[in-house]
A and B are shown apart, each in its own frame.
Chain A
Amino acid sequence: MVAVFGTLGFHPESLIPTIKSSQEVSRVVVFISPRSESKEAADQVEKYCSALGVRFDEVIIPDAYDLLSIAERIQDEVLDSRERGELAIFNIAGGTRVMSAAALLVCILEGLNAVYVHDDTGQEIMLPSLHMRYSSALTEMEKEVLMFLLKHQGRELSQKDIAAGMGLHKATVNHHVKMLLEKGAVRLVPKDKDNRTKVVKVEDSMRLLLR
């Protein structure tokens, strides 16, 4: 079973070549903005799928310019598809620049095949990606520390606070924070009212690595 995913703008032609070239497509999922032109393009893709006897699902992205919320919505669908046991291919050629970037980001993070269709030639270009989750570059303990930090994002947490909060030895936390610093997953910043103490900060986007 193959699921073709695609961000779609106003032109169905950006997605059709991928449905055509993929074998055993059982489902097509399009991500569109609420604009009527996108809906019309999606309707045309739906007609095409219906003629092929392929299931068609449409996901409306309420804000086509909010990168992280789009990436999260796309990731939900991709993870759901993985649970269904589908092989997924993602066409990132359509939609806004932000929608396309969000889709590519999810492809990199989830290890999906991503393709781009050339505007003029209609040629499909496969983009480099590994079939492995990007988060596999982190250890389980590193993920747990990140999760703890994201859960308490509003607070200023030193390594000592993290150790106390997670019930771990301070040296253990120091080691994992050091590794996360080397990997660029967290950063140390001076505490607001005490410059001598450093607190560990994590970017909101790291959430995408931990789902």
Chain B
Amino acid sequence: MAMRAIPFDRLVVITSQDNTFRDEYQDILQINRISRTPVETLMVDKFDLMGSFAAIVNSIQHHKEMRDKVAINISGGTVLLADAALLAAFQTGVDAYHVDDRVIKLPVLRNASIEERLSSDQRRTLLRLEGNTDLAALQKEAGPEAARTLKDLRTLKKMGLVQVGLGDGVTWVSLTRMGEYYRKALQRPSR
């Protein structure tokens, strides 16, 4: 039903190795062979949510780079695969659909990826944090921008990306697990 409802001229099937032997997968290949639509298969580990998520994000970015308009259907596969696809759609800001007896376009916005939701100062502050960072040293390093850096840190803390701790009379700032994740995402070359 999704193939009828969402127009496309190239299809990427996201699946795991064992599913390639199933009739459903072979049917998709067959249908698209008849319509001469190029089909590409993105193999993922169906038990690895974050790995699948990263693979889908990469594939979306690759196709965006090729100036393709990308849409993703999250209604197939395992729970884990559907969740990975949903996360990837919001992360990259591409149209996402859930298709059952009707077609539901999910409320994904195009300007709401992490890169777009942080200001350039907030991004810079996030990238400067590695391990435990002494807050006083960080402010000193920021010089005349110290007040702004502090404000950015407060915002990043509110977003759950930064945590603050006390030890040996020093105030430390460090990234949360989520902060580490987004720092890595920001370090990836933008496509």
Instruction: Identify the A interface with B (CB < 8 A).
Output: 65, 67-68, 92-93, 95-98, 100-101, 104-105, 108-109, 111, 113, 116, 118-120, 125-132, 134, 136-138, 182-185, 203-206, 208-209
Contact = CB atoms under 8 A, between A and B. Distances in A.
A interface, over-half SS: mixed
Contacts of B49: 116, 125, 127
Contacts of B50: 125, 127
29 contacts: A67-B100, A92-B83, A93-B79, A95-B79, A100-B83, A101-B74, A105-B86, A105-B106, A108-B86, A108-B87, A109-B107, A116-B80, A120-B47, A125-B49, A126-B177, A127-B49, A127-B83, A128-B185, A130-B114, A130-B160, A130-B161, A131-B159, A132-B117, A137-B111, A138-B109, A182-B111, A183-B112, A204-B104, A205-B105
A116 B52 CA distance: 13
A137 B37 CA distance: 36
A67 B86 CA distance: 13
A19 B156 CA distance: 27
B78 A137 contact: no
Nearest to A112: B160
Interface in B121-155: none
A205 B98 CA distance: 11
A44 to B, nearest CB: 20
Interface in B149-179: 158-161, 177-178
B117 A137 contact: yes
Contacts of B98: 67, 98, 101
A97 B117 contact: no
B110 interface: yes
B114 to A, nearest CB: 7
Contacts, number: 107
A119 B117 contact: no
A208 B90 CA distance: 14
A126 B117 CA distance: 20
B110 A183 contact: yes
B113 to A, nearest CB: 10
A90 to B, nearest CB: 12
Contacts of B91: 128
Contact of B107 (A93, A98, A182, A206): A206
Given A108-B87, A130-B161, A184-B110, A97 B47 contact: no
Contacts of A96: 79
